[in-house]
């Protein structure tokens, strides 16, 4: 083979380059002002460029490039290779390109299936957004936490826009139907929110008026001082059931209401302090009376005990009030003494009750008679040295004597 020839082409004496293609030669062009080798090399490079395009397309097809793009390039290369001005195995390139047509068909089927699955997933995701919005719209407006619900709806709308902009395109009819449902749900939630807060504003206005009136009544009690506390407590009960007027308003009104109450309780504290000082002497008198009455806790003469207690009670009443924190203390101590004297009287009555005494005397006579008989039995058993009988009679005798002792008390 001469320097002007290759496996797939040659250059003639006029500088024309030929390629062997499909069993025949055809001219592919000339390379002006170049040597035959340069002319042949030029058109060989043209073949190399075409082969590179085919190889790149094969790589893209294997990588899963869009089937439409691959098909378009296959058509362009098929046309280019039909009468390509290049020197090389053009038929081999045509075979490789033709093989890509089969690859394109498979690629198209796979990508269509993937696209269909992506559309179904997109529809499902957008439907989930719609159903979440509709669930919010179906809730009772009175039970919704509106701050949270508003944030949830805003997040759903953000998801919708992101999905619409970045997700797969879905059929127009389905997209329109889903958007209408989502828009309707948003409108319903918005209407519920406006209605709820309109009602809440009206309720707050009524509560604000009620509490303002309570504040005014509480402030008006200031001139009564400590005597106004019962009325203030009734106003406080009304306050607790008045409802809420919104945190900011509630806090402001409560500060005013509480300040009015604090003034009343401050006046009461001053009164209590004066009374405690005034009643301190009375406390000392009553403490002395309690010391005087202490022996009555163990007294045995009911008449003397009652007389002493009556005298102490008269002086107790005459002594007057004691400081508030000492009332319970001294009253409880006096009560213990009164109960002791009362018990002393009750015990005497129980002992001297005629009916009870008669019953006791009759029982005592019976017991004394039984004891006499048992003592005779014991003497006989002792004389007979009957140990078993002695034990039996002794036990019975001790029991009767114990009963008699109880009756005689």
Task: Let me know how many helices (H) and strands (E) the chain has, helices first.
Answer: 11, 3
Written as six digits, the tokens of 348 are 């005497």
Q: Model confidence at 1, in pLDDT bands (50, 70, 90)?
A: very low
Residue 66 has phi, psi (to 5 degrees) of -50, 130
Specify the pLDDT at position 111. 59
225: closest CA among 173, 178, 256, 268? Answer: 268
Strands (E), 216-341: none
Report the percent of the chain where pLDDT is more than 70.
92
Using alpha carbons, list the distances in angstroms from residue 282 to 271, 317, 328, 334, 373. Answer: 17, 10, 14, 15, 66
CB 393, CB 381: distance < 8 Å: yes
The C-alpha atoms of residue 259 and residue 251 are separated, in whole angstroms, by 12
Residue written as tokens 């690629």? 107
Q: Is 33 left (phi over 0), alpha (psi -120 to 50) or beta?
A: left
**101-141 confidence digits (pLDDT tens):** 888 777 766 656 666 677 778 888 888 888 888 888 888 88
Q: In angstroms, rounded to a whole number, what is the distance separating the alpha carbons of residues 306 and 210?
A: 60
Mean pLDDT in residue range 154-182: 85
Q: Give how far the C-alpha of residue 260 lies from the chain's centroid of Cα atoms, to the nearest Å.
A: 36
Residues 137-154: tens digit of each pLDDT? 888 888 888 888 889 888
pLDDT in tens, 325-358: 888 998 999 999 999 989 888 888 877 765 655 5
Are 50 and 80 spatial neighbours (Cβ–Cβ below 8 Å)?
yes
Burial code (b: 16+ CB inside 10 Å, e: under 16) for 193-229 equals beeeeeeeeeebeebbebbeebbebbeebeeeeeebb
Euclidean distance between CA atoms 185 and 121, whole angstroms: 22
Closest CA to 74 of 101, 92, 49, 55: 101
DSSP, res 63: T
The torsion angles phi and psi of 249, rounded to 5 degrees, stand at: -70, -45
Quote the percentage of the chain above a pLDDT of 90.
18
What digits encode the pLDDT tens for the residues 35-86? 889 999 999 999 999 999 999 988 988 888 888 888 888 889 999 898 899 9
Residue-wise pLDDT for 201-227, tens only, equals 777 788 888 888 888 888 887 888 878
Q: H helices within 320-353, ranges in order? A: 327-352
Measured N-to-C along each axis, helices 354-383 and 387-407 cross at an angle, to the nearest 10 degrees, of 160
Average pLDDT estimate for 10-32: 91
């Amino acid at each position: 083979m001469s320097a002007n020839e290759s496996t797939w082409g040659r250059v003639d004496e006029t500088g024309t380059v030929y390629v062997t293609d499909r069993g025949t030669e055809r001219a592919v062009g000339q390379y002006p002002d170049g040597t035959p080798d340069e002319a042949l090399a030029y058109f060989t490079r043209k073949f190399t460029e075409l082969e590179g395009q085919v190889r790149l397309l094969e790589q893209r097809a294997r990588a899963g490039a869009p089937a439409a793009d691959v098909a378009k390039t296959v058509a362009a290369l098929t046309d280019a290779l039909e009468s390509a001005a290049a020197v090389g195995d053009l038929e081999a390139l045509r075979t490789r390109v033709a093989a890509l047509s089969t690859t394109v068909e498979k690629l198209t089927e796979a990508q269509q299936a993937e696209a269909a699955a992506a559309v179904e997933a997109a529809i499902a995701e957008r439907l989930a957004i719609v159903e979440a919005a509709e669930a919010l719209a179906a809730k009772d407006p009175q039970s919704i936490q509106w701050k949270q619900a508003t944030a949830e709806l805003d997040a759903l709308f953000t998801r919708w826009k992101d999905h619409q902009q970045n997700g797969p395109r879905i059929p127009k009819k389905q997209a329109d139907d889903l958007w209408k449902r989502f828009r309707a749900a948003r409108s319903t939630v918005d209407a519920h929110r406006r209605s709820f807060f309109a009602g809440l504003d009206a309720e707050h206005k009524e509560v604000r008026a009620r509490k303002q009136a309570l504040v005014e009544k509480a402030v008006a009690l200031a001139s009564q001082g400590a005597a106004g506390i019962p009325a203030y407590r009734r106003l406080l009960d009304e306050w607790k059931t008045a409802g809420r007027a919104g945190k900011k308003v509630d806090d402001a009104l409560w500060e005013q209401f509480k300040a009015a109450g604090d003034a009343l309780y401050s006046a009461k504290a001053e009164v209590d302090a004066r009374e405690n000082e005034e009643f301190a002497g009375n406390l000392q008198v009553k403490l002395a009376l309690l010391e005087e009455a202490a022996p009555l806790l163990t007294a045995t003469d009911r008449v003397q005990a009652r007389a002493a207690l009556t005298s102490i009670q008269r002086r107790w009443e005459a002594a007057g009030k004691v400081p508030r924190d000492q009332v319970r203390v001294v009253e409880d101590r006096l009560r213990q003494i009164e109960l002791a004297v009362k018990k002393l009287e009750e015990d005497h009555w129980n002992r001297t009750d005629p009916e009870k005494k008669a019953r006791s005397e009759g029982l005592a006579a019976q017991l004394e008679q039984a004891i006499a008989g048992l003592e005779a039995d014991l003497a006989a058993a002792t004389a007979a040295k009957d140990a078993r009988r002695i034990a039996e009679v002794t036990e019975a005798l001790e029991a009767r004597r114990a009963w008699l002792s109880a009756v005689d008390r």
